[in-house]
């Protein structure tokens, strides 16, 4: 089973790379946004990447259901035991901001019994590809070089937090202040999970709204790298919830207690 999961992860990485190329073609053409019924932005890059991902998943795993951000009909599904969660362009606001930081990603994850068992996160502007398989470890591929990654021990100087660039709120600030965490890195998209996974930060608190496709792939990478994602009450953070809507969570390299 583990070898099958690794093979599937490799296929998902190929799909994410192809979707990322489509994202960058739009990015280089100076994209404009439309707005969905919920007020969130969507671009031609979201749509192009989703088309590539859905076609790839149909080819390699046609028996597995797909829930994708841009396929509204999929949001009405009752979560099956096994399904893909897809965000073809996570961090659309960062994509539109064009600030040179490149903090937008392509996310694909496989959920089994409420847990993300494998996932890939590709940041096409940074050319950083992260992948993780439950019990199989995590990797980063950059500049054609693939390496194993793992969370780091907690620094003696104290943990470094990552926080949302576009959605940071007072509750997050209060949580950090209560724990005397003063050093933070502000970045968009699921890259926050990946910075923990590759030893560049230590904790990511999130109290504002997110959807399951925003977090599942990064969650899978972090777990494979030795970290964890829990509720603020330190309970398991599960998938397949009503409307695929997340509650608050804390991503950790080391869970307290």
The predicted-structure confidence for 66-82, as pLDDT tens digits, reads as follows 999 988 888 888 899 99
Non-local CB neighbours of 9 within 8 Å, separated by 6+ positions? 118, 119, 120, 131, 132, 133, 136
**Which CATH number does the domain housing residue 165 bear?**
3.40.190.80
Reply yes or no on whether the pLDDT at 126 is more than 50: yes
Please give the structure tokens belonging to residue 91.
């961090």
Verify that 15 and 90 share a domain, yes or no: yes
**Which CATH number does the domain housing residue 45 bear?**
3.30.540.10
The span from the CA of 37 to the CA of 22, in Å, is 24
Residue at which a domain ends, from 86, 114, 149: 149
Verify that 42 and 88 share a domain, yes or no: yes
Q: Where are the beta strands (DSSP E) in 28-157?
A: 34-35, 41-42, 65-68, 82-90, 105-112, 115-123, 128-133, 137-142, 145-149
Residue at which a domain ends, from 127, 149, 171: 149
Verify that 35 and 123 share a domain, yes or no: yes
pLDDT, tens only, 16-67: 999 999 999 999 886 677 777 666 777 889 999 999 999 999 999 999 999 9
In a domain, 9, yes or no: yes
Residue at which a domain ends, from 149, 183, 210: 149
Verify that 108 and 215 share a domain, yes or no: no
The span from the CA of 132 to the CA of 78, in Å, is 26
In a domain, 156, yes or no: no
What pLDDT is attached to residue 1? 42
pLDDT, tens only, 229-240: 999 999 999 999
In a domain, 154, yes or no: no
What pLDDT is attached to residue 100? 77
Verify that 128 and 169 share a domain, yes or no: no
CB 19 within 8 Å of CB 88: yes
Verify that 223 and 120 share a domain, yes or no: no
Q: How many domains does the chain have?
A: 2
Instruction: Give the model's confidence band at 257: pLDDT under 50 very low, under 70 low, under 90 confident, else very high.
Output: low
In a domain, 15, yes or no: yes
Q: For the chain, give the mean pLDDT.
A: 92
Q: What is the largest CA-CA distance in the chain?
A: 49
- Chain centre distance of CA 65: 19
Verify that 109 and 17 share a domain, yes or no: yes
Verify that 16 and 109 share a domain, yes or no: yes
Reply yes or no on whether the pLDDT at 153 is more than 70: yes
CB 134 within 8 Å of CB 219: no
The 8-class DSSP code of residue 151 comes to P
In a domain, 175, yes or no: yes
Verify that 31 and 138 share a domain, yes or no: yes
What pLDDT is attached to residue 42? 79
What pLDDT is attached to residue 37? 67
pLDDT, tens only, 178-229: 999 999 998 989 999 999 999 999 999 999 999 999 999 999 999 999 999 9
What pLDDT is attached to residue 206? 95
171 is in which domain, residue-wise?
A: 161-252
In a domain, 85, yes or no: yes
In a domain, 155, yes or no: no
Verify that 195 and 169 share a domain, yes or no: yes
Give the residue from 250, 172, 246, 237 showing the smallest Cα distance to 214.
246
Verify that 121 and 235 share a domain, yes or no: no
Verify that 125 and 77 share a domain, yes or no: yes
In a domain, 78, yes or no: yes
């Amino acid at each position: 089973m583990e070898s099958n999961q690794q093979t599937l992860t490799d296929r998902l990485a190929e799909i994410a790379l192809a979707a990322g190329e489509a994202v960058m073609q739009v990015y280089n053409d100076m994209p404009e946004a439309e707005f969905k019924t919920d007020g969130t932005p969507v671009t031609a890059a979201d749509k192009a990447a989703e088309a590539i991902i859905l076609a790839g998943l149909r080819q390699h795993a046609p028996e597995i259901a797909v829930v994708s951000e841009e396929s509204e009909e999929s949001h009405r599904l009752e979560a099956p035991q096994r399904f893909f969660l897809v965000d073809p362009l996570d961090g659309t606001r960062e994509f539109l901001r064009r600030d040179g930081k490149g903090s937008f990603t392509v996310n694909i994850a496989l959920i089994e019994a409420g847990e993300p068992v494998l996932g890939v996160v590709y940041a096409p502007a940074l050319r950083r590809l992260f992948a993780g398989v439950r019990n199989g470890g995590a990797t980063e591929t950059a500049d054609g070089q693939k390496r194993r990654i793992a969370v780091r021990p907690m620094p003696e100087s104290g943990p470094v937090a990552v926080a949302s660039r576009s959605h940071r709120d007072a509750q997050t600030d209060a949580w950090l202040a209560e724990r005397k965490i003063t050093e933070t890195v502000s970045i968009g998209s699921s890259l926050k999970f990946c910075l923990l996974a590759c030893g560049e930060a230590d904790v990511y608190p999130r109290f504002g709204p997110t959807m399951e496709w925003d977090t599942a792939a990064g969650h899978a990478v972090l777990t494979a790298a030795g970290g964890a994602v829990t509720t603020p009450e330190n309970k398991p953070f599960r998938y397949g919830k009503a409307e695929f809507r997340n509650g608050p969570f804390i991503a950790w390299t080391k869970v307290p207690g």
